[in-house]
Amino acid sequence: MKPLSLASINFAWLPILPLIIVAVAAMVVLLAGVGVEDEESEGLGWLTLASLGVAFIFALGLVGGTGVAFAGEIAVDGFSAFFQLLILVAAAFVVLMSLDYAGENRLSGAEYYSLILFSTLGMMLMATAGDLIVIFLGLETMSIAVYALAGMRRRDPRSNEAAIKYFLLGAFSTGFLLYGIALIYGATGTVKLAPIHAALSASMAGNPLLLLGLGMLLIGFGFKVAAVPFHTWTPDVYEGAPTPVTAFMATGVKIGAFAGFVRVFMVNLGPISTHWHAALWVLAAITMTAGNLIALVQTNIKRMLAYSAIAHAGYLLVGMTAAAAYAGSAIMYYLIGYAFTNLGAFAVVIAVERRGAAAGDSISDYRGLARRSPALAAAMAIFLLSLTGVPPLAGFVGKFYIFSAALRSGYVGLVVIAVLNSVTSAYYYFSVIVAIYMQEGGLGHPTLSTRPALAAAIGLAVLATILIGIYPEPYVSAASSAFNSALGAGFMHMTAMLH
């Protein structure tokens, strides 16, 4: 029996350096946090932010890479780099908006920031994984950390409830995802993505075991991205969790989940897209529709944003249904815009919430915000408009890209449904604008001036939302080259494995 050698498993530090940095940073924060009072955790936040920045710089180095590492467990390609960068940015935003929040709400700083870093690690793993097990473990890393984060307001029964709901349903869903992995393992004899891809090419497509596995994976990912009918946790958890955590769930978790989802389905299971696009079609349609319809009648802004997030998952699923390279980059572009917009929106929610209380989340609390804090009002309006898909904001170009992809693949009916849904969504987004600008007498007390970090987060999000919309060219090319590199890497890996 051969002794183990690092070379035989393409051991390479560089591709996982960002991951390592984040993991180490998490532990450092944990240690540094010993003895730090809950109210004074801001320094930990800055430390977290700095480490995310370092990771970001190293992740930039991954752009343009191709190939695999660690026996195919890690995919070194533009796709991973793209998502890692996006996730790091989202995490950084969340940290930025947590800086004051954590202290004000007396969350345990060390645990809080290290858990954020850990879950960031999980998300990055999902984006980087070259194998179903790493995806599964990444997903669990992310989820378990987020379960805990959701319950960080230990004395807030709503926070507890969010945590338990998320946890139980998450664990339940894990079962299905794992079952899917098991079945695919049974059908193909491997859990590594590239060989699965290779096996598919060898006329594996009709295998019932594979199909059932496919279905189960669909369910598992569907849960994480909050596709109807696997979405039920979303509104409750978004509402109950501490708002920065909600922002993280709405952006980071969703991006991570989509990273895995897209890589597995569009890249590696792409050749048998005929076996899943119909199911996704239906999922996309009911996700958009249900999300938007229920959002219409919401009165709590976080809950409304949760349903809106469901609806947006639906639009993303439209892109997935299209199942082609251009659709993949469309999804990726959409996620950029979606991330900034949602982060910004949740940042505003934090700003409007009353300190140390969950109150202030009702849409009626936003009445007259334009008078009390014009800048905040304008920012929120921009985010809501972007979510509606009004040009020239990021949300619009994203929608445009997704619809283009779907039409290009011939899904006219789905696009029409999506379009009508967009109209419906305008109603509830605009209702918030109505409250902000056209009604009086809300109770929200925005305190932006005393929270410079939050203000910075909002400002940056506004800038990004506008810039990405007006000048989408670099992001579009980044997304498309990233996705194509994943496609290419898949094949290269395949040849690598044959040796």
Partner 1 sequence: MTVEFGALGLILLFPLIGVLFNLFLGARLGRRWVNIVGPGVIFIAFALGIWAFAKILSMPAGSELHYKLWDWIEGGSFHVEFGLRIDALSAVMVLIVTGIGAFIHLYSDGYMAHDADYARFFTYMNLFALAMLILVLADNLLMMFVGWEGVGLCSYLLIAFWYSNPEFAYNGRKAFIANRVGDAGFILGMLTIIAVLGHGGVWSLDFGTIHRHLGLFTTTTATVACLLLFLGATGKSAQIPLYVWLPDAMVGPTPVSALIHAATMVTAGVYMVARLNFLYMLAPSAMMVVATIGAVTALFAGTIAIVQSDIKKVLAYSTISQLGYMFLGVGSGAFAAGIFHVMTHAFFKGLLFLCAGSVIHGLGGEQDMTRMGGLRKVMPITFWTMLIATIAISAIPPFSGFFSKDMILAGAYGSGHFGLWIIGVITAGITGFYMFRLLFLTFFGESRVDPERLHHAHESPPVMTIPLIVLAIAAAIGGWVGLPDGFLWGDLFSRFLAPTVGTFTPTVATPGVLLSVIALAISIVGIIIAWVLYIWMPGLPYLIAWRAKALYTLLLQKYYIDQFYNLIVTRPLFFVSNWILHRGVDRFAIDGTVNGTGIALETSGAIARRSETGNIQHYAFIYLLGVIGIVAYYLFLVMR
Partner 2 sequence: MVPLPYMMALSAIVFVIGVAGFITRRNILIMFMSVELMLNAVNLAFIGLASRLGTMDGQVIVFFVMTVAAAEAAVGLAIIISVFRNRETVRADELNLLKW
Partner 3 sequence: MPMGLFWFLAVVTVIASLGVILQRNPVHCLLSLVVTLLAIAVIFIGEDAVVVGFLQAIVYAGAIMVLFLFVIWLLNIGADTGPSGHLALKFFGGVAAAALIAELLIFLLPPHLKVKFAGHSATYGSIESLARTLFSQYIVAFEITSILLLIAIVGAVALARRGPGSQLAKSASGSAPAERVL
Contact positions vs partner 1 (CB under 8 A): 164-165, 168-169, 172-173, 176, 206, 208, 211-212, 214-215, 218-219, 222-223, 228-230, 232-233, 235-236, 275, 278-279, 290, 293-298, 424, 427
Q: Which is nearer to partner 3, 124 or 330 (CB)?
A: 124
Burial of 498 (0-12, 13-18, 19+ CB in 10 A): exposed
Min CB(176)–partner 2 separation in Å = 8
Closest CA to 33 of 103, 96, 102, 111: 111
- Measured distance CA(48)–CA(43) in Å, rounded: 9
Binding mask 337-366 for partner 3 (x = CB under 8 A): -------------------xxx--------
Q: Which does 101 bind (CB under 5 to 8 A by kind): partner 3, partner 2, partner 1, none?
A: none
Three-state DSSP class for residue 13 = coil
Single-letter amino acid, residue 405: A
71, interface contact from partner 2, partner 3, partner 1, none, CB < 5-8 Å by kind: partner 3
Which amino acid, residue 316? L
SS3 content of the chain, % helix, strand, coil (to 5): 80, 0, 20
Looking only at the bridges linking them, the beta strands covering 74-75 and 68-69 are antiparallel
The reply to whether 318 sits near partner 3 by the rule CB under 8 A is: no
Please name the residues in contact with 181: beta carbons below 8 A apart, sequence gap of 6 or more.
Answer: 132, 133, 136, 191, 213, 216, 217
Binding mask 148-177 for partner 3 (x = CB under 8 A): x--xxxxxxx-x---x--------------
Minimum CB separation of residue 47 from partner 1 in Å reads 36
* Smallest separation, CB 475 to partner 2 (Å): 35
Residue recorded with tokens 């006329």: 203
In the bound complex, what is the minimum distance in angstroms from residue 54's beta carbon to partner 3?
18
Stretch that binds partner 3, among 23-31, 45-53, 85-93, 469-477 (CB under 8 A): 23-31
Least separation in angstroms between residue 428's CB and partner 2 is: 15
Rg of the chain over CA atoms, in angstroms? 21
Toward partner 1, which CB reaches closer, 11 or 172? Answer: 172
Distance CA 380, CA 444 (A): 13
Q: How far is the CB of 294 from partner 1 (least distance, A)?
A: 5
Nearer to partner 2, 188 or 447 (CB): 188
Is residue 399 within 8 A of residue 389, CB to CB? The reply is yes
Enumerate residues 30-69 that contact partner 3 by CB under 8 A: 30, 38
What minimum distance in Å lies between the beta carbon of 30 and partner 3? 6
Reading the block at residue 255, the tokens are 């991006």
When CB distances are held under 5 to 8 angstroms depending on the partner's kind, the choice from partner 1, partner 2, partner 3, none that residue 27 binds is partner 3
3 state DSSP class of 61 = coil
Is residue 118 at the binding interface for partner 3, with CB under 8 A as the rule?
yes
Q: Which does 295 bind (CB under 5 to 8 A by kind): partner 1, partner 2, partner 3, none?
A: partner 1
CA–CA separation, 464 vs 346, rounded Å? 15
User: Which residues fall within 8 angstroms of residue 293, CB to CB, at 6 or more apart?
Assistant: 424
Is 1 or 297 the residue whose CB approaches partner 3 more closely? 1
| Whole-number Å distance between alpha carbons of 341 and 59 | 23
User: Are the CB atoms for 460 and 93 separated by under 8 Å?
Assistant: yes
DSSP 325-390: HHHHHHHHHHHHHHHHHHHHHHHHHHHHSPTTSS-S-BGGGGTTHHHH-HHHHHHHHHHHHHHHT-
Does residue 205 belong to the site contacting partner 3 (CB under 8 A)?
Answer: no
- H helix intervals, 226-276: 233-240, 243-248, 254-261
Are 304 and 295 in contact by the 8 Å Cβ rule? The answer is: yes
Q: Which of 330, 270, 291, 352 is nearest to 478 (CA)?
A: 330
Nearer Cβ to partner 1, position 216 or 247?
216
| Residue numbers 458-487 binding partner 3 by CB under 8 A | none
- Residues lying near partner 2 in the complex (CB under 8 A): 133, 136-137, 140, 144, 147-148, 151, 154-158, 160-165, 167-168, 171-172, 174-175, 178-179, 181-183, 185-186, 189-191, 235-237, 239-240
**Nearer residue to partner 3 within complex by CB, 153 or 231:** 153
Residue 201, binding choice from partner 3, partner 2, partner 1, none, Cβ under 5 to 8 Å by partner class: none
Look at the block and give the residue holding tokens 């959701």. Answer: 150
How many Cβ atoms sit within 10 Å of the Cβ of residue 474?
10
Q: Closer to partner 2 at the Cβ: 108 or 484?
A: 108
Closest separation in Å from C-beta 208 to partner 3: 4
Stretch that binds partner 3, among 130-138, 334-342, 428-436, 458-466 (CB under 8 A): 130-138
Residues within the interface to partner 3 (CB under 8 A): 1, 4, 8-9, 11, 16, 23, 27, 30, 38, 70-71, 73-74, 104-108, 111-112, 114-115, 118, 121, 125, 131, 133-134, 137-138, 140-141, 144-145, 147-148, 151-157, 159, 163, 186-187, 189, 207-209, 212, 356-358
